[in-house]
A and B are shown apart, each in its own frame.
Chain A
Amino acid sequence: MNKILPYPLLIIFLIIMWLSLTSFTLGQLLIATIVALIAAQAMAALQPAKARLKRWKSLLKLTGIVLHDIVRSNIAVTKIILQGNKRARKSGFMTIPLDLRDPTGLTALAIIITSTPGTAWLDYNSARGILLLHIFDLVDETVWLDLIKNRYERLLLEIFE
């Protein structure tokens, strides 16, 4: 591992973030660089699991799919809340066996599931790889199983494993 410049991507992102929050001047660039270098050293001291992105193409595809799904489920959940009790709605728990084991991949999946209204990540059994979800509108379990397994997990496996 590179001792002086660990996590080059993190350093670049931190510098860009610092500059966009303050102003693009030489002085701020200097401070940003110093802060980013110290932060990268601190990150290296924590020794997190190294994430490796295998396929950028799949990542872009996944981002597109997720953005589309968030819009769709926003509309769906809004409808349900506004309809009130007029329609019989069944919410419930469901378990999904996951093949994904990479911590970064699981983090990504947690963010996707949480930021999509209507699905909530409740528990994950890391020993058996079983995910417990709560679904707001559980009409058909196979639809949700298909969504998580084929739409998200397949791409995440391609990206991280």
Chain B
Amino acid sequence: MNHLADLPFWAAWLVAAFLFIGGSLTLIGSFGLYRLRSFYDRIHAPTLGTSWGTAAVVLASIICFSVLQSRPVFQEILVGIFVTITTPVTLMLLGRAALYRDRSENNPNVPAVDPPEGILDQPKMGDKLESVEQCSSKHE
């Protein structure tokens, strides 16, 4: 990576600053994922990495290669766009799976299905699961 020595002073600082911001945010997000206790709290933490964590690294890359090649380099924006538009898919999938499980276990901490219920949303095995829950709580 010798060509990086050609990077002017101001650009080097700017790139370093953005890389630092992006890296720190992603690290803090991962730390939050480890630290937080409930599932629903945990899904918030990695969004730090998918929003400004990604954006800052993308900006650093754009600045670095635009300055080095003396022409605007913008294909990194595609990384940002695809990360942004695909995150909701995974997040909703995880969120709804968790919600479905908690509802079918009659967890009192999650909101109930609001009427009119879809056929698929209806927890059918509520009674059975409740008895299982009671058994397990006795063991505790």
Question: CB within 8 Å of B: which residues of A?
Answer: 17, 20-21, 70-71, 74, 77-78, 81-82, 84, 91, 93, 95, 110-111, 113-123, 125, 127-128, 130, 132, 134, 136
Contacts and interface: CB of A to CB of B under 8 A. Distances in A.
Contacts of B99: 122-123, 132
Contacts of B48: 74, 77-78, 81, 117
Nearest to A118: B44
Interface in B77-99: 78, 84-85, 87-88, 91-92, 95-96, 99
A33 B98 CA distance: 43
A148 B33 CA distance: 25
A interface SS class: mixed
A109 B6 CA distance: 43
B102 to A, nearest CB: 11
B51 A110 contact: no
A70 B84 CA distance: 12
A120 B95 contact: yes
B interface SS class: helix
Given A95-B114, A134-B95, A120 B44 contact: yes
B28 A81 contact: yes
Contacts, number: 99
B25 A93 contact: no
Given A74-B52, A81-B32, A20 B114 contact: no
Contacts of A122: 40, 92, 95-96, 99
Contacts of A114: 47, 87-88, 91-92
30 contacts: A20-B74, A20-B78, A70-B51, A71-B52, A77-B48, A78-B25, A78-B28, A81-B31, A81-B48, A91-B44, A93-B110, A111-B84, A113-B88, A114-B87, A115-B50, A116-B47, A117-B48, A118-B47, A120-B44, A120-B47, A120-B95, A121-B88, A121-B95, A122-B92, A122-B96, A123-B99, A130-B114, A132-B111, A134-B44, A134-B95
Interface residues of B, number: 35
B68 interface: no
B13 to A, nearest CB: 20
Given A20-B78, A111-B85, A134-B43, A117 B111 contact: no
A110 B95 contact: no
Contact of B111 (A17, A95, A116): A95
Give the most central of B44, B52, B96: most A CB within 10 Å.
B44
Contacts of A110: 88, 92
A21 B41 contact: no
Contacts of B32: 77, 81
Contacts of A70: 51-52
A91 B110 contact: no
A71 B75 CA distance: 22
